Amino acid sequence: MKILVTGGAGFVGSHLCEHFAEEGFEVIALDNLKRGEILGKNINSRYNVDFLKSLNQVEFVEGDITKFSTLQEVSKNADAIIHTAAQVAVTTSLENPRKDFEINALGTFNVLEAARLNDCAVVYCSTNKVYGDNVNQVSIKELDTRYAFADDAFNGIPETFQTDLCEHTPYGSSKLAGDIYVQDYAHVYGLKTGIFRMSCIYGTRQFGVEDQGWIAWFTIATLTGKPITIYGDGKQVRDVLYVTDLVAAFDAFLKNGLAGEVFNIGGGAENTLSLLELIEILERLTGKEITPGYDNWRPSDQKVYISDTGKARKLLGWRPKVSPEKGVEQIVQWVMKNKNIL
C-alpha cells in the first residue's frame, strides 16, 4: 500500500511515517515546515525531516495543504491519506483566524477532494475542542491536585456529545468544519473515512511550546531551565495518550476496513493527568524543583476533558498500553539526549 501523511514532519506525522515504513508500506511525508513560523516560535523544523530521510520507504515532499495542485500530485495512486497537518494552537487561532481557517478548513477540504479523485481512504486528526465549552457544563468536583467529574460512574465524553450552541474558539471551529466535511464525504461520496477526535497526545520528537503540547513543553522547560506558566490553577485534567498508542489505533482502523466512523481517542479514564500532577512526576524523574508562575485561564479551556474510548476499544480491538508515568519518562530521556536542539 501507499500512504500519504500530511504534516509528515510533525510530531504525530513522523511517528506514523516511521510505523508504516516499518510495516513495509510506501510512505510519502508532506510538510511545509512552517510550524514555528505559524506559532511565532523558534522550533527546530529539520530534526524530524532528517529522521524521516534516514528511513527506508519514506519520501519527503516539502509542500502546503492549502495548495490543491500539490495535494493532487502527491496523492496519486495513494491507498490512504492520514491528515495530521494543521494549525494546532488556540492562541494562534485567536490572533490570526484567517490563517487558522485556511489551514484547518480549506486544507482539509483539499485533502478530501484529492481523496475523492483518487478514491482513497482518509484518516482525519480532529480534536476534543470540537465539543467546545459544552464540556464545562458537565458537573465537576475539586480535589487536592485536580478537577474530576462529579459523577464517578461517568466514563468520559462520548462521540454523541453536543457540539452546538457554545464557544469553540476559531481553532475549535475550523477543526469542527473539517470534521463535518470528512463525515459528509463519507456519506455523499462513499469515502472510507475515520475521524479521531484526539485528546492530549504526547511523546518523543514533540517540540512542545507554551501554546501547544503541554506535556512536552513542561518537560523541555524543566530540563532546559525555562520558566513554566500555568494558565488557571493547574488542576485542569486531560486524558493523555502516548503517540505509539495513537498510531496503533490508526493502523487498526485502516486494516479493519471500517468507513465513516468517528472516534474519541485519548488515554481514557485510566490515563489522566492534571498540570500539577505532571509537575510532581517531572520533579521525581528529573530531581529538579519546579516553581511555576500563574496567569489567567485561557479562553474555552476545559477544566476536565476525558474521552470515552469505548467505541474505539470495541470496533478497533484497541486499548492504550503506555501509562502516563512511563510515557513522561520516555520524553524526559529524549529531551535529555537532545537538549542542544531544543
Beta bridge partners of 3: 27, 80
Cell of 158: 462520548
Question: What stretches of the chain adopt beta strand conformation (E)?
Answer: 2-6, 26-31, 58-62, 80-83, 121-127, 140-142, 147-149, 193-198, 200-202, 229-231, 237-242, 261-265, 272-274, 293-295, 304-305
Q: Report the distance separating Cα 250 and Cα 247, nearest Å.
A: 5
Q: Is 294 labeled as catalytic in the residue annotation?
A: no
Q: Report the distance separating Cα 234 and Cα 122, nearest Å.
A: 36
Q: Report the distance separating Cα 308 and Cα 311, nearest Å.
A: 8
- The pair phi, psi for residue 127, each rounded to 5°, is -150, 155
Q: Report the distance separating Cα 55 and Cα 69, nearest Å.
A: 27
Among the listed residues 131, 147, 171, 185, the single catalytic one is: 171
Please check whether residue 263 is in contact with residue 312, taking contact to mean a CB–CB distance below 8 angstroms.
Answer: yes
Active site residues: 171
